[in-house]
C-alpha cells in the first residue's frame, strides 16, 4: 500500500462512480463500494487504515463472499451511505454509513453505522471487517484488543472503538485468524488478517439490527488519557437520527 497523494484542504464527500472520497486538511478517506467494500484512510505520507467489509452467514457452511452488488449510494451532509440489497447466495442485505466526526489536523475519527436486515424466517447475518497490516515497514504496528470492544495499534496511532451497547455483537480476531470455525475462514482470503466480526446472532424476517463503531487515526501517539476520553465521548454520544 502507499499513501494517497494530493490531499486537499476541502471538507466534504465527493461521490464518484465506485464510491466517494472525503478530503480535509492532511487527511483523505476513500470509500470503494465494488467489487469489494473497502475503506482507505491516509495522509500525505502513509496509509493508516485499509479494511475490507465482507458479508457471510454465521453458524452455517457458507463462505464469505466478496460482497453483494451495490444497490444505491448517496451523500448526505457529512455522511456517505452505501446500500446493498439482499441477494443470493446470502439471505440478508446490509447498509454502511460513513460519518467523518472529527477531521482536525492530527486526529481523524470516522464513525461507521452498520445495519443488516433479512427477509427470511431465520438467518444469521454477519459482516467481517478485515484490516490490512500497517504500511510502515520500518516501524510496523499491530492491532491488539486492549479491552472488550477496543482495539489499538502497537504504535498507538490507530484504533477501533465499538459502542458499548454493541460490544456483545462483536468478536475480535487477531492475525492468527482463528475463530474456531473452519467454514467461516475457508476461501475468504482474510484468514490471517486482524478482523472484527459484527453481528452473527439469530435474526428473523422484518428485524433490523444496527451497530456503531469508530475508526480512530492520529498523526501523533494517542496517550492513555486521550484514548479514554475518546472512548467516553463515544459511549455518551446520542444515537444518530439517520441510522
- 5 is a domain residue: no
pLDDT at residue 43, rounded to an integer: 83
Average pLDDT score over residue span 155-179: 84
Residues 195-221 have pLDDT tens digits of: 999 999 888 888 899 999 999 999 899
pLDDT at residue 238, rounded to an integer: 85
- 155 is a domain residue: yes
- The residue among 81, 108, 97 whose CA lies nearest residue 27 is 108
- 117 is a domain residue: yes
135 pLDDT band (50/70/90 cuts)?
Answer: low
What's the domain count of the chain?
Answer: 1
pLDDT at residue 136, rounded to an integer: 54
- Choice among 28-37, 65-74, 145-154, 177-186 with the minimum mean pLDDT: 177-186
Instruction: Express as a percent the part of the chain with pLDDT over 90.
Output: 47
Task: Tell me whether residue 46 is exposed, middle or buried, using C-beta atoms within 10 angstroms of its C-beta: 0 to 12, 13 to 18, 19 or more.
Answer: middle
- 3 is a domain residue: no
pTM: 0.84
pLDDT at residue 178, rounded to an integer: 44
- 49 is a domain residue: yes
Task: Select, from the ranges 55-59, 73-77, 86-90, 131-135, the one with the highest average predicted confidence (pLDDT).
Answer: 73-77
**Residue 149 CB partners (closer than 8 Å, separation 6+):** 161, 162, 163, 164, 166, 167, 170
Average pLDDT score over residue span 2-27: 73
- 74 is a domain residue: yes
Between 240 and 16, where is the model more confident?
16
11 pLDDT band (50/70/90 cuts)?
Answer: low
104 pLDDT band (50/70/90 cuts)?
Answer: confident
Matching residue, cell 465521548: 233
Q: What DSSP string describes 36-84?
A: SEEEEEE-SS-EEEEEEEEEEETTSS-PPPS-PPP-EEEEETTEEEEEE
Answer yes or no: are the C-beta atoms of 179 and 171 closer than 8 Å: yes
Domain extent for 179 = 44-235
Between 25 and 175, where is the model more confident?
25
- 39 is a domain residue: no
Instruction: Express as a percent the part of the chain with pLDDT over 70.
Output: 79
Report the CATH number that the domain containing residue 94 is assigned in CATH: 2.70.98
- 23 is a domain residue: no
pLDDT at residue 204, rounded to an integer: 85
Amino acid at each position: 500500500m502507499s499513501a494517497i497523494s494530493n490531499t486537499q484542504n476541502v471538507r466534504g464527500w465527493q461521490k464518484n462512480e465506485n464510491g466517494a472520497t472525503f478530503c480535509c486538511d492532511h487527511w483523505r478517506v476513500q470509500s470503494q463500494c465494488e467489487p469489494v467494500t473497502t475503506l482507505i484512510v491516509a495522509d500525505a505520507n502513509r496509509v493508516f487504515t485499509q479494511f475490507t467489509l465482507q458479508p457471510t452467514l454465521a453458524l452455517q457452511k457458507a463462505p464469505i463472499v466478496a460482497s453483494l452488488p451495490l444497490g444505491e449510494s448517496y451523500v448526505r451532509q457529512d455522511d456517505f451511505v452505501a446500500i446493498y440489497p439482499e441477494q443470493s447466495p446470502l439471505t440478508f442485505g446490509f447498509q454502511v454509513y460513513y460519518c467523518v466526526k472529527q477531521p482536525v489536523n492530527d486526529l481523524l475519527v470516522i464513525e461507521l453505522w452498520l445495519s443488516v436486515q433479512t427477509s427470511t424466517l431465520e438467518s444469521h447475518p454477519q459482516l467481517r471487517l478485515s484490516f490490512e497490516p500497517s504500511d510502515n515497514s520500518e516501524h510496523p504496528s499491530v492491532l491488539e484488543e486492549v479491552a472488550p470492544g477496543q482495539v489499538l495499534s502497537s504504535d498507538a496511532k490507530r484504533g477501533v472503538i465499538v459502542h458499548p451497547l454493541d460490544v456483545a455483537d462483536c468478536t475480535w480476531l487477531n492475525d492468527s485468524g482463528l475463530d474456531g470455525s473452519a467454514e467461516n475462514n475457508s476461501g475468504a482470503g482474510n484468514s490471517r488478517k486482524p478482523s472484527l466480526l459484527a453481528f452473527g446472532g439469530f435474526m428473523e424476517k422484518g428485524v433490523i439490527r444496527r451497530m456503531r463503531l469508530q475508526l480512530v487515526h492520529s498523526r501523533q501517539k494517542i496517550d492513555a488519557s486521550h484514548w479514554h476520553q475518546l472512548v467516553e465521548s463515544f459511549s455518551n454520544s446520542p444515537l444518530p437520527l439517520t441510522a
